[in-house]
Structure formats: structure tokens, C-alpha cells
Amino acid sequence: MTSENNINVMPGAIVCEESKLDGDITIGSHCIIHPAAIISAEAGPIILGDFCLVEEQAKIIHRLRPEQTNNETTPVLIIGSHNVFEIGCTVEAAKIGSNNVFESKCFVSNKVNVTNGCIIGAGCKLIEEQTLKNNTIVYGSKCFQREGLDRPVTQTAQMDTLSKMLPNYHHIRRPMKKDYLN
């Protein structure tokens, strides 16, 4: 849909140049986007909150559901803060809150609303229309759901290490100047 890419990177974010970013994307401060991560704003802008971690081969795709395509207004996919997208996950969820973990190779379709503190376990596929309650944990080959007591712990140590290591070995996309923001 979008021919030109309009990428806004907030200060403090580390976005590797090898990552594939298509469309109108805003990346919050202190986010880490690994090389070969794919963020594709097909249907409308994506706004990624602060402190998000998008690992290799993770795909975040803003894809419209068939019934929404005729609408005049273009919806914006707002992703909350402190989300972790692990290696090889594919996330097309319509709404994503904060503090969620999408584990390796999971798949979340665009009919799913993810609230806060959810964990989608490795390899789990969520296709059906549903809204995950706060702190829902999906796990196992049969996609069992249970409610956690608390949201998952934030991976601050991992983020710190990555923010030191990644710039040493990869080209980093320049964040926007602070004065430009103001």
C-alpha cells in the first residue's frame, strides 16, 4: 500500500539497518530492532512503544481484516511498551498492549486482540477471533490458556547488553534529532 517508507526512530532506540521496515512506522525510544527483523505497515501506520525488543526473523505485520478494508480511515496499530518479539514469531494482532512476550515461532492472527502482560508460548498458533485477557499465558502444543498471577518480568539486563553489543557489529539507523521532535 505504501510506496514510500516513513520511518521515525525516537532517541535511544537501536534499529539495525539490516532490518526490513516497510511503511509508516514509528519506533519508540529505547527499542531494539535486530537485523533481519521485519516490520511491515501494510494497512496503516505502526507505532511501536518504548522498550520493545524485536529479535531476528520476527515479523510484525499490520494487516487489515477483510471487513475493514473498505473503511475510509486508516487504522493505526499501536503497540504498547516493554513487548518482546522473540525469534521467528509472526504477529499480526489487531491490538497489542504492554508487557507482552511473543515467544519463538508463535503466530498471532489479525483477529486477535492482545492486552497486557500476555505470553504467547513458543510455536503456539492463535487464529480464531478472541481477546486475550490480561496476563494470559498460552502454552504447549494444544495451546492451553491459563491466567498468570503477574505480568512477565521485563528483560532489562538483556536489553542493556544488546544496546551495548549491537552498535559494535551493525550499522544503526540514525534516530531523529531531538530538536526536530520539538
List contacts with another protein (CB under 8 A): 119, 121, 124-128, 130, 137-140, 142-150, 152
Give the shortest CB-67-to-another protein separation in angstroms.
20
Element (H, E) at 168: helix 156-169
> Cβ of residue 94: shortest distance to another protein, in angstroms?
16
DSSP state of 33: E
Distance in Å, CB of 98 to another protein, minimum = 17
Cβ-based nearer residue to another protein, 68 or 145: 145
How many helices (H) and strands (E) the chain has is answered by: 2, 21
Distance CA 78, CA 61 (A): 12
Q: How far is the CB of 7 from another protein (least distance, A)?
A: 33
Q: Which is nearer to another protein, 149 or 157 (CB)?
A: 149
Residue from 90, 93, 65, 89 nearest 79 by CA: 93
> Among residues 31 and 118, whose Cβ is nearest to another protein?
118
Our CB check for another protein shows the closer of 8 and 145 to be 145
**What element of type H or E holds 162?**
helix 156-169
In the bound complex, what is the minimum distance in angstroms from residue 142's beta carbon to another protein?
Answer: 6
Q: Three-state SS for 130?
A: strand
Shortest CA distance to 87 belongs to which of 120, 117, 57?
57
3-state SS, residue 95 = strand
C-beta of 29 vs 130, nearer to another protein: 130
